[in-house]
Structure formats: structure tokens, C-alpha cells
Amino acid sequence: MKLINKSNFTFIVLVLILQFTAQIQAQYLTLDDAVNTALKNNPKIKQYTERSAQKKYADIEAWGNFLPKIDIVASYTHLNDPLLLDLSPIKDVIVTLQSKNQAELTNIYSLLQTGTALTTQQKAYVAQQAAIQLNSAIPSFEETFKDQDYKTATIKAVQPIFLGGKLLAAKKFASDEVEASEVEIKKTKDDVIEETTNNFLAVVLLQDVVKTRTNVLAGMKKHEAMAEKLLQQGLIANYHMLRAKVAVADAERNLFDDNNKLELAKVALRNSLGISEDADIQIKDSLVYSDYLGELNTYVTKAMDQQPILKLISLKRDAAHQKYNAERSKLLPQAGIFGMYEMYPQYLSVVEPRWAVGVQVSLNIFNGFQDYANLQNASHLEDEVKYLEADAVRNIRLLINKDYKDAANSKNRYLKTDETIKLAEENLRLNEKRFDTGLGTSLEVIDAQLSLEKNQIESKQSLYDYYKSLNALNVNAGNPEEILNIWNKVEGK
């Protein structure tokens, strides 16, 4: 097998690298690609996505308020001494009284039988013997109430029955928060689409401007070369030659400035895409006119139905209403049932139950008018959000009217420049011929070129303003993806 030497290997590697580079450069960035990349990389969207996940779990938590709360409480306790129930004094009293009674009965019996009463010593002896018998017959009156070491394990359950509508208000509020978080994600995506589209259009505009500047510079250099030939032939004055050089220098400066603007626009686009600042961006799209401006009322109707800001305010209005319901619930009675069960009955005292169930009802009578003040506060908050919603509707309508008129004005300005460009092209052609034949001046040719350049750039700027206004119009109408459909149809995709 023939081995590949080092020089051949290096050549093959270079060829492969060039082919790979060519393949990369052939991959142009479309507006769809730009928007999808921006939506994927934008950290704000990821932030609101995480917030939405939090709200969903908060909604699950609100569901839990309707379910019983069951706890197991366990403990181990060591006392300094056992808890004793000592009733010995009562026993002593009983024994004493009963022994005295026994002594008196014995005395009476002696009188009846013998006619002789017992002596004091005899009575004392009988009472003593009776006390001994009673002490042995009556059990101890001392009982251990609680052992020195004992354990408890109690299952407790509480089920709310009625809390004045507080639980339902909390659940509706949590659901509104979930929906609001999803609307915030959509609004953030709308903003990202608008920003990315505007930056993409700026790059396309400046590419077209640079192309126009390049063509003008080529025309200026062609005129400079022709002027140099005519000067050598003595057909024009040196002034015309100098004027042509100045025009070339101005065209080079303008081209340099617009190239810098183009690079800055690409930096802004890379930032919107969330890619590195040195990443290569290749865009082949160009600004081409197509009429996609619909009726004004259509955009207004869409905005009233789809605009995220209006949806957010509507959800906040409902949340304010739920806050009012929650504050009102504090003025109503609260009811619930409860139950408990002890798992170590052997450690219970005689006065402690093993299980218990019950119903609890409470109603606050007075707390310094705090509940009333909070209710009024919630009521005014609800009214405030209503006025905020009305103002937002007015501003959205105004904004859509402005965007629509801006798009219409840009469209009209572009259509009027079409005939002007044709006239400027014909004027340049005639002045170049006049100059070539020695009948015209260099200044006339340069003025004609600058006039054509000005009209071509104004035409591109009008198209850029038209599509930018269309973008803003669709974003404010709550349908930012429509600009992608418009652009794809314009580009024939």
C-alpha cells in the first residue's frame, strides 16, 4: 500500500476544511430559523416557564385545602415523679367514722345484754380493732394517674366544612395565577418574536443598502475611469476629474459607514438569538414589497380577543374579586369537624379518652374593624383594576391605529418611489451618455448617481418601515407569528 506523505495529507485536510466551510457558508439563516433559535435560547422565556411550573404546584396546593388534614403526633415523656391520685385522707375519715360507729354499736349491745356499758378503754380497743379490720378490707385510695415514663401516638384529623367561601376563592385565585403565568410566557415570546424580527429586518435592510452603496461606488469608479481617459484626451477640464475622485471618496466613506452599521445590526441579531458574538450569520433575504395590510377593524378585533396584556389584566381583575371574596369570608362563621385516636391506650389515664370526634363552629364578633377595613380595601382594589382594564383597552386601540397608519404611510411612500427610481435611472443613463460625448459635465453625472442612490435607499427604508410596522401591528393584535407567514410568502417560501 502506498503511504500518503505529509504534504499530500496536509493538502487533503485543507480541501476537506474548505469544503466543510463552504457547506457552512451555504446555510443561510431564515426568519423562521432566527425566531425559533431566539425562542429556544431566550432566558426570560425559561424564567417564566419555571414560574408557570411553580404556579401549577400552587394550584395543586389550593386543591389540598378542601381535603382533611391528618396528622400523627408521637412523643415520649419522662416525668420527675409519677402522677399519683392520692385519696388516703378520705379513706382515713371513712375508717375513723366507721370504727367509732362500731365501738358505739358494741357498747349498745353490751348494755342490752349485760346491762353494763363499756369503759373508755374498752371502746378505744373496739374502735382500734375495727379500724384494723376496715383498713385491711378497704382497698388503697392511692392510684398512679400517669407513669413516670409514657409514650403517645395520636392520629388527628380536621375537615373544614364551611369557611365563608375562603377555600373556593383561594382555589380560583390559584387557577388564575396558573393562567396568568402562561399568558406571561406568551407575552414574553411575543416580545422575543418582535425584537428578533426587527433585528432580522434591520440586517436585511442594511445588506440591501450596502449592495446599493456598492453598486453606486462601482458606478462612481467607472465614471472616474472615464473621466481620466477624457482628461488625457483633453476633452474635459481637470476640475471634472477631481470632482469624480471626490465622489468616489464619498461613496467609499458611505459604504464603510453602512458596513459598520450592518455589523452592529448583526451583533444585535446575535444577541436576540442568544448565540456567541463571533458566530457567522448569513442572510440572503431581501426587502421585496407585497401588500399584506388588512382592515383596521380586523386587527382591533383580534387585539380585544388575543392581546396578552388585556388577558393579564382580566385575570388580575378576577384575582382582585377573589381577594374580595376571601376578605368577606372573615365576616362569616367558620365550621369544621375533627377527630382523634390514641394508638397507645395503655398509657392513657382514667380521665383521657382513646378517641373523640366533634364539630367546631366559630364566628369573630369584634377585632377592631380590621375585617371591615380589609373588605373595603379589596373592594377598591377591584374597582382600580376595572379602570386599569378600561384604560388599557383605550391604549391598545390607539397603538393599533398608530401602527396601522404607520404601515399605510410606509406602503404609500414606497409605491410613490417606484416611478421616481425609474426616472432617476433614466436620468443617469442620459447624463452618462452626454458626458461620454463631451456634452455633459461630471457634476451632472454624479448628481444623477447620487439622486438614484438616494431614491433606492429611501425605497428600501420605506419597505423596512412597512414590514416593521406590520410586525408591531400583528404583535399588538396578539398574533406575532403572522409576520412569519407574511415574510415567507414574500420570499416565496
State CA 432 to chain mean position distance: 62
Local confidence band at 49 (pLDDT 50, 70, 90 cut-offs): very high
Same domain, 50 and 98: no
pTM (2 d.p.): 0.77
Distances in Å between the alpha carbon of 395 and those of 304, 400, 401, 482?
A: 11, 9, 10, 22
Same domain, 136 and 242: no
- 391 has a pLDDT exceeding 50: yes
Q: Is residue 360 part of a domain?
A: no
Q: Is residue 415 part of a domain?
A: yes
> Would you state the pLDDT for residue 1?
38
Same domain, 112 and 237: no
Same domain, 202 and 247: yes
Same domain, 179 and 312: yes
Q: Is residue 342 part of a domain?
A: no
- How many CB atoms lie under 10 A from the CB of residue 107? 17
Q: Residues 38-46: contacts with CB within 8 Å, 24+ apart?
A: 38/192, 38/193, 38/195, 38/196, 38/272, 38/273, 38/274, 39/189, 39/192, 39/193, 40/274, 41/273, 41/274, 41/275, 42/188, 42/192, 42/274, 43/274, 44/188, 44/192, 45/185, 45/188, 45/189, 45/192
Same domain, 177 and 267: yes
> Would you state the pLDDT for residue 428?
85
- 412 has a pLDDT exceeding 80: yes
Measured on CA atoms in the order 35, 39, 44, 49, is the torsion positive or negative?
positive
How many domains, the chain? 2
d(CA 338, CA 355): 11
Residue 311 domain boundaries: 28-70+165-332+366-490
* Mean confidence (pLDDT) of the chain: 86
- 432 has a pLDDT exceeding 90: no
Select from 96, 123, 140 the last residue of a domain: 140
d(CA 432, CA 446): 9
For the sheet with 69-78, list strands across it: 69-78, 149-162, 334-342, 355-362
Q: Is residue 1 part of a domain?
A: no
Same domain, 55 and 92: no
Same domain, 299 and 258: yes
Q: Is residue 82 part of a domain?
A: no
The helix/strand/coil state of 245 is helix
> Would you state the pLDDT for residue 145?
72
- How many CB atoms lie under 10 A from the CB of residue 7? 8
39, 189 Cβ separation under 8 angstroms: yes
Same domain, 405 and 376: yes
Q: Is residue 340 part of a domain?
A: no
> Would you state the pLDDT for residue 10?
53
Query: For 286-336, what is each residue's pLDDT tens digit?
Result: 888 888 888 999 999 999 999 999 999 999 999 999 999 999 998 999 999
